[in-house]
C-alpha cells in the first residue's frame, strides 16, 4: 500500500488510549497494522441495534476502503453517513503471568473513527478492487479476471478517511506483582504467528496448472524487529524454515 501523506497527530478525545504507554498515534504505525491485518471489523448502529461485522479491507494512502454487495445492511448504513468504527487486530502472543489477574495477550490493534462516502468514480473503484485483491495476496491481481460490468454494478465500495485513528500495542513479558516473582510458577510468552499451509487445488482445475509462487510461499509482513528495522516472515508451505 502507499505510504501515508499525513504526519503523526495527537489523539482525539475519542481515540485516546486509557493505558498511556500502550497508545500509539503515529500514522505510519497505524497504517502498518491496517496493511498487515487480513480482515477488519466494522461497528455501526442500524435501527437502534449495534452490529460489528467482519470484512476485508484495503488502505490506499490516507483512506480505508471496504466493499460488498450493494444490498448489505453494513454498506447501506455507511453510505447514509452514519458514524462507524473500524478495528483491525493482530494477535502476536499469549502472556502467561504468575497470577491469573496479570495474564494478558501481546497484540497490535488500530481503530479508525469517522463517516464514510461511497466511491462512484469508476477508475477509483477499480483501483480499490485491485487494492483489496492485492491486500490479501500480493501478485494475484495480475493473474485473475477483471470484474465484469455486472459485477462492478453489484458491488458497493465505501471510503473512510484515516483522520481520526489510534493504535494500541502490547508487547513483552508479563508484569507481575513484586511478591509474585518468587512463586514457583512458569511465566512467559507463547508467541503466535499466522501460518499458511500448502495450497489445495480446486477440484475443477485443469491438469498442468501449478499454484503460483505467492500461493506456494505465502507471506505477510510481521511487526518490526527489536532493532526497529522492518522484518519479513516468509512462510514456506513446502518445508518450514526460519524467517
The pLDDT, as a whole number, for residue 142 is 95
Q: Average pLDDT for residues 21-26, to the nearest whole number? A: 77
More confident residue, 152 or 219: 152
Q: Average pLDDT for residues 18-35, to the nearest whole number? A: 84
The pLDDT, as a whole number, for residue 219 is 82
Domain extents for the chain?
1-175+186-191, 193-243
The answer to whether residue 69 scores a pLDDT higher than 90 is yes
70 pLDDT band, cuts 50/70/90, is: confident
The answer to whether residue 7 scores a pLDDT higher than 90 is no
More confident residue, 221 or 233: 221
50-64, 173-187, 229-243: which has the minimum mean pLDDT? 229-243
1 pLDDT band, cuts 50/70/90, is: low
Q: Which tens digits make up the pLDDT trace of 99-117?
A: 999 999 999 999 999 999 9
Q: Average pLDDT for residues 226-238, to the nearest whole number? A: 33
The answer to whether residue 229 scores a pLDDT higher than 80 is no
pTM of the entire predicted model: 0.84
The answer to whether residue 239 scores a pLDDT higher than 70 is no
SS (H, E, C) the chain: CCCCCCCCCCCCCCCCCCCHHHEECCHHHHHHHHHHCCCEEEEEEECCEEEEEEECEEEECCEEEEEEECCCHHHHHHHCCCCEEEEEEEEEEEEECCCHHHCEEEEEEEEEEECCEECCCHHHHHHHHHHHHHHHCCCCCCCCCCCCHHHHHHEEEEEEECCEEEEEEECCCCCCCHHHHHCCCCCEEEECCCCCCCCCCCCCCCCCCCCCHHHHCCEECCCCCCCCCCCCEECCCCCCCCC
The answer to whether residue 16 scores a pLDDT higher than 80 is no
CATH topology of domain 1-175+186-191: Pnp Oxidase; Chain A (2.30.110)
The answer to whether residue 228 scores a pLDDT higher than 50 is no
23 pLDDT band, cuts 50/70/90, is: confident
Q: Average pLDDT for residues 28-46, to the nearest whole number? A: 95
Q: Which tens digits make up the pLDDT trace of 113-145?
A: 999 999 999 999 999 999 999 999 999 999 999
Amino acid at each position: 500500500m502507499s505510504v501515508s501523506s499525513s504526519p503523526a497527530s495527537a489523539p482525539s478525545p475519542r481515540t485516546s488510549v486509557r493505558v498511556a504507554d500502550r497508545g500509539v498515534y503515529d500514522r505510519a504505525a497505524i497504517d502498518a497494522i491496517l496493511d498487515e491485518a487480513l480482515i477488519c471489523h466494522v461497528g455501526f448502529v442500524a435501527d437502534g441495534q449495534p452490529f460489528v461485522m467482519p470484512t476485508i479491507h484495503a488502505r490506499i494512502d490516507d483512506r480505508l476502503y471496504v466493499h460488498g454487495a450493494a444490498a448489505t445492511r453494513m454498506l447501506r448504513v455507511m453510505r447514509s453517513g452514519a458514524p462507524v468504527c473500524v478495528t483491525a487486530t493482530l494477535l502476536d502472543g499469549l502472556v502467561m503471568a504468575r497470577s491469573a489477574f496479570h495474564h494478558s495477550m501481546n497484540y497490535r490493534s488500530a481503530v479508525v473513527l469517522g463517516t464514510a462516502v461511497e466511491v462512484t468514480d469508476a477508475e477509483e473503484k477499480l483501483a480499490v478492487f485491485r487494492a483489496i485483491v492485492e491486500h490479501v495476496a500480493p501478485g494475484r491481481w495480475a493473474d485473475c479476471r477483471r470484474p465484469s460490468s455486472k459485477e462492478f454494478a453489484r458491488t458497493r465500495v465505501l471510503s473512510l478517511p484515516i483522520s481520526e485513528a489510534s493504535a494500541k500495542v502490547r508487547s513483552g513479558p508479563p508484569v507481575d506483582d513484586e511478591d509474585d516473582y518468587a512463586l514457583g510458577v512458569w511465566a512467559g510468552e507463547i508467541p503466535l504467528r499466522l501460518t499458511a499451509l500448502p495450497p489445495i487445488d480446486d477440484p475443477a482445475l485443469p491438469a498442468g496448472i501449478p499454484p503460483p509462487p505467492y500461493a506456494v510461499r505465502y507471506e505477510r509482513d510481521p511487526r518490526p524487529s527489536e532493532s526497529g528495522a522492518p522484518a519479513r516472515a516468509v512462510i514456506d508451505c513446502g518445508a518450514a524454515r526460519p524467517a
